[in-house]
Amino acid sequence: MGGGGSSDTSQTQKWEPPEWTVGAYKDLVTGAANLASKPYEAYNGMETSPWNGYQQGAANMIEDRATQGAPDINAARAAATNAAQGEYANPWAGNIQGLSKGEAYNPALAGATALAQGTPNPFGSDAYTQQLIQQTTDNMTGAWQTGGAAQNDAMANNAGGWGGGGWRAMQESGNAALNKQIGQMTSQTLQDQQRYKGGLYDQDRTAQERALNMQSQMYNQDVANQINATTQGGNMWNQDISNILQGGQLGLQTSQEDWTSADKMMKVGNDQNAYMQKLLDSAKAQWTAAQQHPYQALDVLGTALGKASGVGGSSFSQTTGPGQNPLMGLAGLGLSAASLW
C-alpha cells in the first residue's frame, strides 16, 4: 500500500437477475407503478339489507296494537268495566221487580173476589116473593070470578033471584072461601120462600168459602211464582255476568294470536332480510375479489420471479481502496439496476 492513504477498504455486492427474466421484472415494476397510481375506488353497491315489507307489516301491527288496542281487547275491557260498575243487569229485571211487588196476580182474582163478597141470588129477594104472591092471588081471583062467581050469577039470574039476599050470601061465602085460600097460599108461599132463601144463603156461604179458598190458593201460587221468577231471574243474571266475564277472558286469549302473528311475520321478515344480506355480502365479496385480483396476480408474478432469479441470478463484489468514496459503490449498484431498462 502507498503511504499517506487510509488502509480501510469496503466491499459492495451487486446482484443481477437472469437475463431471460429482465422483461418480466420490467412488467412487475410497471404493474406495481400502475396500481400505486390508481385512485381509490369506493364500492357503490348496496351493503345493508333494507327494511322489507314483512318487517314493516309486523311493526305496523305491533304499533297499532300498542296504541289503538284491538276490538276484542277493547270489548273485553269495556265488558269488565261495565260489569264492575253494575251496568249489566238482566233484561227481565223489570218483570221480576213487578212480580216481587205483586203486580201480576191471576186474572181470575176479580171473579173470586166477587164470589167472596157474597153477591145475593136475585130470586131470593122479598120483591120477588111479593110479586109471586100477587101473581098467584090475581090468578086465583080471576079463576073465582070466571068460575064459581059466574055460576052463582047464572043460577041466581035463572031463578030470578040475582041481586037478592040469597045471591049476596052465596057471593059472600065464595069471597070468604077465596080469601081463605089466598091466605093459605100466601102463608105457604112465604114459608117456601123462607126455606128457599135459607138454602140459597147456605149455597152462598158455601160459594163464598170456596171462593175464599180458591183465592187463598191462587195467592199462594202467585207468591210461589214470584219467588220462582225472582230465583230464575237471579240465576239468569249470574249466568249473564259469567258469560260476559268469560267472553272477556276469551277476548284476551284470542288477542294473543295477533301478537303471535306479528311475531311470526317479523320472523319471516328477518329471515328474508338475512337472506338479502347474504346476497349483498356475496356481491361485495365478489367485487372485492375482483379489485384484489391485479394485486394478487402481481404478487404471483413477483414470487415467481424471486424463485426464478434465485436459481439463475449472478452477483459480484466490488472493493474500494483507501480514499475511495463509498457512495460510488451505491452509484454503481444503481447503474446496474438501471441497466435492466
Handedness of CA 59, 64, 69, 75 (dihedral sign): negative
Alpha carbon distance 277, 54 (integer Å): 15
Whether 147 is in a domain gets the answer yes
pLDDT one-digit tens code per residue, 216-267: 777 777 767 777 877 777 777 777 778 777 877 877 777 788 888 999 999 9
Split into its structural domains, the chain has a count of: 1
pLDDT for 69: 78
Question: Is residue 142 a part of any domain in this protein?
Answer: yes
Residue 216 lies in a domain: yes
Q: How confident is the model at residue 7 (pLDDT cuts 50, 70, 90)?
A: low
Question: What is the pLDDT, as a whole number, of residue 326?
Answer: 41
Q: Answer whether residue 313 is part of any domain.
A: no
User: CA triplet 156, 157, 161: central angle to 5 degrees?
Assistant: 55
Q: For residue 114, tell me if it sits in a domain.
A: yes
Residue 178: which domain range? 54-255
pLDDT value at position 236?
A: 74
Asked if residue 313 has pLDDT above 50, the reply is: no
Asked if the model's pLDDT at residue 275 lies above 90, the reply is yes
pLDDT (tens digit per residue) in 170-198: 666 777 777 777 777 777 777 677 677 66
The helix/strand count (H/E) of the chain reads as 9, 2
Q: Within a domain: residue 100?
A: yes
Any domain includes 188: yes
Residue 283, pLDDT > 90, answer: yes
Pairing of strands 10-16, 314-320: antiparallel
- Is there a domain that residue 92 lies in? yes
- Band of residue 123 on the pLDDT scale cut at 50, 70, 90: low
